[in-house]
Structure 1
Amino acid sequence: MQTTFTAEQLATPRIAEANSILRKCVHCGFCTATCPTYALLGDELDSPRGRIYLIKNMLEKGEAASTETVKHLDRCLSCLSCMTTCPSGVNYMHLVDEARAHVEETYRRPLFDRLMRDVLALTMPRPALFR
């Protein structure tokens, strides 16, 4: 995938790493066949290939993440099935991690979302609460 990051952006280690990952993607679409969210929803933006486009646009513009981008990134299950089928060896999970870090730095989630995420973060690591 061609990218248009500026030299100033590429001086940032996180952007430089994302750039090298983005350049490996050849848009073949093999990842879509194994992505559970794409299989369920059928929306290209909910496939790894679609999310790669969203991440590329978000990082190249250097702007805060849009609500649409956050919605599709949050739907990724991080199951890594896309990485096992990718013939180009795109490190999708690392790219999504970088994108999620950018989202947390630039996007203010609605109050309900923040509260729900806090509750999950407090309860999920404690199995005793589920007994």
Structure 2
Amino acid sequence: MSNVTAAAKLDPTVAKAAIGLVLRFLRDEDKSGNMQTMIAKMPRAQEAIDASLSTGDGGVTQVIEGMTSFIGHGRADLNILAGQLEKLGVSEAQTDALVREVLARAENVIGVEGAEKIRDILPALRERTDLPTDLRRSA
């Protein structure tokens, strides 16, 4: 968690809830089971997910879900996550850093192929996190 906190420049308390939101989002969207495997292998992942459950989004989710038909399901889902993170005070740049670090950690925990399947969950997620291999960080 300290790598993510440092990379995203987040307060550790905010980082825990933010990481939980990202993990929960990816777990819920992942049909392959790779995220569940990753969460099971990460000692504090479930704790972070539990911390994220106490964060609300002030109705942002319902508004964005209503717009899904206009902007596409994948983008809407990612925008819901972004809205939840924004409510925690996480900027767009911090969100990008956070998701990149979680995906880098996924590479270390479940391998490159598993991380690619997670990245492919939503086209909008790939667009935001697709980095050349030489720029990917090791967590």
Q: Which has the higher helix share?
A: 2
TM-score, reference length from structure 2: 0.30
Q: Which has the higher contact order (CA 8 A, sep 6+)?
A: 2
